[in-house]
A and B are shown apart, each in its own frame.
Chain A
Amino acid sequence: MKDQLNISNWTCPLPLQNYPTIVMGHGSGGKMMSDLIHHMFLPLLGNEALNQLGDAAVLELDQYPTRVAFSTDSFVVNPLIFPGGNIGELAVYGTVNDLAMTGAQPLFLSAGFILEEGLPMETLGEITTAFSAACQTANVLVVTGDTKVVNKGHGDGLYINTTGIGLIPAEVAIAPENAQAGDVVIVSGTVGDHGMAIMSVREGLEFETRIVSDTSPLHELVETMLAASLDIHCLRDATRGGVAAALNELAKSSQLGITFEEAKIPLRPAVKAACEMLGMDPLYVANEGKLVAIVKSQVAEEVLAAMHSHPLGRDAVLIGQVVSDHPGMVLAKTGIGGSRVVALPVGELLPRIC
């Protein structure tokens, strides 16, 4: 899908009143806004439901007699375009992944774009193109949207909010509190790629290997896992706060303990080097295409094998167990045979002084 993206060839079907940047008028509700919608958003995101441009989308759900997953997320990343992706695909995959963590098949998205006056039209085009391509990859439709423009200095170029609806097959029972003592813990691949990709651009750090974001939609991987076994008890998208936060949330919801072996966490050498340089713990660094799964131990091998068969789960590893000891607490076994508590991160990750 990504191969079809050709940013340099992106052209606007009709000139947007010849404005090379976003101006306040693009959020006025008048002709300029209508032009923006008709010439930027509809050509890229349009479909039967969205093209109606009603106050709300009307969706036929008859063919899906099952439970609904519903999730919203706002995207405020800086820089807007980073190695391996941009805010457009992040906004699609972020919500798609939240839905997928319930075992749902993602179907519909809303898209709220908050544009800052002065945003180059070309940047908006590039991001919307990526947004559109990501929707195709994830097989979701944008069925309702909103555009606002804020004064220069009141936004970081562009914020996007997406809300998504997905449907959960009747036989699937995934929930944060479903973990059981004896279950195993799996991570789907290398950790910290997204966070360090963003950080390396923001801080102007250069490494021998370029670190690229792992932003990708996980619903197919989840589908593959569920096809292997329905005994998948919990799934968590390891975004902000990284794998450490995901494990802590799961331990807390299930009131069970989690232990894992630190040495088993898959880590790209460049990410490891960047983390060492900045004094950061990769366990706490954000991912945008990695999940943590808690699975019944008897089916661990089948689920792992299924994950390995999918490109996004190729590096999946069993890292630890759910235990009845130390409820709500996550414990890492260190490389030298000691152990330590892996707590929830407090606030922003701060680089250490020396």
Chain B
Amino acid sequence: MKYLDEYRDGDLTRKLLDEINQTVTRPWKIMEVCGGQTHSIIKSGLDQLLPPEIDLIHGPGCPVCVTPLELIDKAIALASRPEIIFTSYGDMLRVPGSERDLFSVKAEGGDVRIVYSPLDALKIASQNPDKTIVFFGIGFETTAPANAMAVMQAKNQAIENFAMLVSHVTVPSALTALMESPDVQVNAFLAAGHVCTVMGYWEYEQLVEKYQVPIVVMGFEPVDIARALLMCVQQLEDGRAEVENAYARSVVQGGNLPAQDIINQVFERTDRAWRGIGVIPQSGYRLQKAYADFDAELRFPEIQTIAPQEPSVCISGLILQGLKKPNECSAFGKQCTPQNPLGATMVSSEGACAAYYQYGRYAIHLGENEMTQ
């Protein structure tokens, strides 16, 4: 397939890996920020082909994983109401709330529908004027423009029976929080290519300057990943700290300006809780006052009191910060499996625990406890 197979080329990937091998002299901890990248790395088995010096840390960039339990419970409360049609991206349906997931709500008669785009939710709203259609607006800067567009269209077309349960988060603020945390020892970051397609990478320039860490914008195919890793290792070995773009076929420095524009017209910055990590100041988006009528939490204020506690055994927070590997969790593969997930990192196909479980069981079966070493 054009524009895909070229970036899955085995020979080219192995050539880049050889170069990494020849370049690396010391141990480095490198975090791939995005869950899609974690998935791709494990799915292609690239982690097993890296030199032992390189320790890949799986970052907090899975929107499903970091959506706080509280929001899931609020979603479940809304989806259970007979007057609501609850719409969501598919993989949110299996995320466990404190008691059940959205799939169970559907089984109990709740009208829960998977959509591919928030604009589809808007269409459902126009077709069902006697119901309120709530869309679960989660994700990073990647999904924010489309979600913003849906709210804007709802307002412009006066589709009043549409509302959004918003839990948007942003990448640079999470990276700042990680850099500020005394426990986290990441030598370099591989930035999320899709987020940078929307936002560009100008925001990272000040991070690099302040914290002196290399940041390389990375794509999602094996060649993209190997190339970005090589650039990262070269910077680390040279003692440089710069922003570099290894995903230039999709990312430009300024990003997608019309997409940023629509985000800025509809959303504003707010503090957000990240599942397993806690509240990160100014790390998310909420709807601006002008769009408050479409905020599900304001339209159904009774859900605002929902505030559950995380289960204690799950260490997804440590995993999302790169402090632990999934197979270092006592529940991994035992009490906690994709069939019965205790935490969100096991639920989403982008979650580090699910990726380890799906693709990595063989390594564990062989007794290799440190898969990435």
Contacts and interface: CB of A to CB of B under 8 A. Distances in A.
Interface stretch (B136-144, B208-216, B279-287, B295-303): B136-144
Interface string A263-279: 00000010011001011
Contacts of B350: 352-353
B359 A341 contact: yes
Interface stretch (A162-170, A180-188, A230-238, A343-351): A343-351
A341 B360 contact: yes
B222 A336 contact: yes
A26 B108 CA distance: 30
A203 B358 CA distance: 26
B361 A329 contact: yes
Interface stretch (B42-50, B235-243, B264-272, B318-326): B42-50
B255 to A, nearest CB: 16
Nearest to A202: B114
A331 interface: yes
Contacts of A278: 116
Interface stretch (B87-95, B149-157, B182-190): B87-95
B143 A354 contact: yes
Given A329-B362, A343-B361, A353 B45 contact: no
Given A279-B349, A354-B139, A340 B222 contact: no
A343 B45 CA distance: 15
Chain B interface category by residue count? 35 or more
Contacts of B140: 354
Contacts of A329: 361-362, 365
A353 B349 CA distance: 10
Interface string A303-333: 0000000000000000000000010010100
A29 interface: no
* Interface SS of A by simple majority: loop
A47 interface: no
A193 to B, nearest CB: 16
Contacts of A331: 362
Given A335-B222, A336-B49, A353-B92, A326 B365 contact: yes
A348 B318 CA distance: 29
B368 to A, nearest CB: 12
A340 B43 contact: yes
A352 B91 contact: yes
Nearest to B141: A354
Nearest to A277: B116
A305 to B, nearest CB: 29
A353 B1 contact: no
Nearest to B88: A353
B18 to A, nearest CB: 12
A350 B94 contact: yes
Contacts of B103: 347
B1 A335 contact: no
Q: Which of A273, A352, A354 has the most CB of B within 10 A?
A: A354
B8 A335 contact: yes
Contact of B46 (A273, A338, A347, A352): A338
Contacts of A28: none
Interface in B4-25: 4, 8-10, 13-14
Interface in A101-124: none
A97 B9 CA distance: 37
Contacts of B222: 335-336
B59 interface: no
A334 interface: yes
A256 to B, nearest CB: 14
Contact of A269 (B1, B10, B91, B358): B1
Contact of A343 (B36, B49, B139, B358): B358
B44 A346 contact: no
Nearest to A203: B116
22 contacts: A331-B362, A334-B43, A335-B9, A336-B49, A337-B49, A338-B44, A338-B47, A339-B48, A340-B42, A341-B359, A341-B361, A343-B358, A343-B361, A346-B339, A347-B339, A351-B91, A352-B89, A352-B350, A353-B63, A353-B90, A353-B143, A354-B139
Interface of A: 203, 269, 272-273, 276, 278-279, 326, 329, 331, 334-341, 343, 346-347, 350-354
